């Protein structure tokens, strides 16, 4: 077998959707999927469009594969908890220090703020009353 012939066959396998995994096929359109999701398109709608173009997978498979691709690309999913944390950082409240520590901030500036601030005892008392024993 010629080297050029082998190379052509391997390239043909790499582009043949029937021979590739669902994850590999989703990886090809990952940036487009992310753009649609960030624009507010529902996951179900994205999944329907993928299905219309031959990439059939369950919502659970889509979620898992998307999560793994995001990890590989070094991005976190825009979750409600993460969005809430970003809002808190831009709009501080009287008990924002305790809220930030609950979300698990890794920002050194947050630690400096905790050390330098005096505790709001009224806010802490309210927080203690709300928590079940």
Domain membership of residue 38 (yes or no) is yes
Domain membership of residue 79 (yes or no) is no
Domain membership of residue 88 (yes or no) is no
Cα(104)–Cα(106) distance, integer angstroms = 6
Q: Are 69 and 100 in a shared domain? A: no
Contact between 80 and 91 under an 8 Å Cβ cutoff? The reply is no
Domain membership of residue 89 (yes or no) is no
pLDDT at residue 115 tops 90: no
Burial class (CB in 10 A: 0-12, 13-18, 19+), 37: middle
Q: Are 69 and 17 in a shared domain? A: yes
Q: What pLDDT, on the 0 to 100 scale, is given for residue 81?
A: 45
Number of domains in the chain: 2
Share of the chain above pLDDT 70, in %: 72
What's this model's pTM, rounded to 2 decimal places? 0.49
Q: Which domain holds residue 29?
A: 3-73
């Amino acid at each position: 077998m010629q080297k050029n012939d082998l190379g052509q066959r391997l390239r043909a396998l790499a582009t043949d959707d029937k021979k590739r995994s669902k994850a590999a096929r989703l990886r090809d359109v990952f940036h487009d999927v992310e753009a649609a999701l960030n624009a507010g398109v529902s996951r179900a709608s994205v999944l329907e469009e993928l299905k219309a173009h031959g990439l059939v997978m369950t919502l659970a498979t889509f979620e898992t594969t998307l999560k793994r691709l995001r990890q590989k690309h070094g991005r976190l999913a825009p979750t409600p908890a993460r969005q809430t944390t970003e809002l808190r950082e831009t709009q501080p409240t009287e008990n924002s220090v305790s809220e930030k520590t609950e979300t698990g901030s890794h920002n050194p500036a947050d630690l400096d703020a905790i050390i330098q601030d005096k505790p709001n005892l009224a806010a802490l008392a309210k927080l203690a009353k709300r928590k079940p024993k």
